[in-house]
Amino acid sequence: MLFGAIEAGGTKFVCGIGDETGQVYERISFPTTIPDEVFGRVINFFQDKNIQALGVGAFGPVNLDPQSPAYGHITSTPKPYWKNVDVVGTLKTHFNIPIGFDTDVNAAALGELKWGAAKGLDSCIYMTVGTGIGVGAVVEGKLVHGLIHPEMGHTLIRRHPGDVFVGNCPYHRDCLEGMAAGPAIEKRWGKKGQELAGDEKVWELEAYYLAQGVANFLLTLSTKKVIVGGGVAKQRQLFPLIQKNVQMLLNGYIAHEMILSNIGDYIVPPSLGDNAGLCGALALANEAFH
């Protein structure tokens, strides 16, 4: 069975063809310019591919309420030209097949649960730490939606007593994203994360913040795995530091062996690597088809 997958990112769109086992056969990618141009390329790619369903993981915020007239839209994004863009409606006019639609991070969480680092489990968190911090969640086998959808990247955290950086979030200033996303690292230290690889204090502080996010998500949702991806998580030295900080913050209260002694298997990088987003969209297509 052939499914189409779209990773609709704020910087680039990735389109792919794959199947119900998560295998990707073909992919293309292009920059997220203006909607007309982007949809032209998307439609051109999927035409004549004989796909049975399509899945889309999109940057947001998005409308996920099937009862709403704005279902399937990207809603209040600050990205020029993309406010209130009807993603699902536009695709529906060209492809008369089931279309699954969710946030990019929910898609990635579902893909990792089905085929990746959380395979065989019924819950996980997927946190991406890149240009922003986004978090997707599957709980009891279902993607978490709600009033709109969780925005856990903007949770409030305690600042480090020695950190004078004001924070970078235009809405909350020193929320998790404002203190720990890639642009916050760059503003605080004057260099991009990739140029700071050898600087231990950078990653100690980064882990101090990311661990607070992880501890809060764990206390709230109690997922069985936490996956941390995105550009910043390519600094693999972060993982033991996050793990240690989460243990310190929880202080023995979550008395489960996964936290007390197996935390190295609990907070992990994505195992689908650069295909995480596309596989997630494939998983959405698969769900829409069934």
Residues near Zn ion, by CB under 5 A: 154, 169, 171-172, 175, 177
Q: Which residue is nearest to ligand ADP (CB)?
A: 182
| Cα 175 from Cα 171, distance rounded (Å) | 9
Token pair listed for 206: 């980064």
Residue 54 near residue 97 (C-beta atoms within 8 A): yes
- Strand stretches in the chain, DSSP E: 3-8, 12-18, 24-31, 53-58, 73-74, 85-86, 99-103, 124-129, 133-139, 142-143, 226-229, 267-268
Q: Which does 230 bind (CB under 5 to 8 A by kind): ligand ADP, Zn ion, none?
A: ligand ADP
- Give the shortest CB-185-to-ligand ADP separation in angstroms: 7
Could you count the other beta carbons within 10 Å of the beta carbon of residue 66? 9
How far from the centroid of its chain's Cα atoms is residue 139's Cα?
15
231 binds, among ligand ADP, Zn ion, none (CB under 5 to 8 A by kind): ligand ADP
Maximum distance among all alpha carbons in the chain? 58
CA distance 230 to 269: 9
Query: Contacts with ligand ADP in 1-20 (CB under 6 A)?
Result: 9, 11
Q: Is 136 in the site for ligand ADP (CB under 6 A)?
A: no
CB 273 within 8 A of CB 91: no
Closest CB to ligand ADP among residues 62, 259? 62
Pick from ligand ADP, Zn ion, none: which does 98 bind, CB < 5 to 8 A by kind?
Answer: none
Nearest distance from C-beta of residue 177 to Zn ion, angstroms: 5
When CB distances are held under 5 to 8 angstroms depending on the partner's kind, the choice from ligand ADP, Zn ion, none that residue 137 binds is none
Give 11 or 33: the residue with its C-beta nearer to ligand ADP. Answer: 11
Question: What residue 175 binds from Zn ion, ligand ADP, none (CB within 5 to 8 A, per partner kind)?
Answer: Zn ion
One of 27, 49, 172, 234 touching ligand ADP (CB under 6 A): 234
Interface positions with ligand ADP (CB under 6 A): 9, 11, 130-131, 182-183, 186, 192-194, 230-232, 234-235
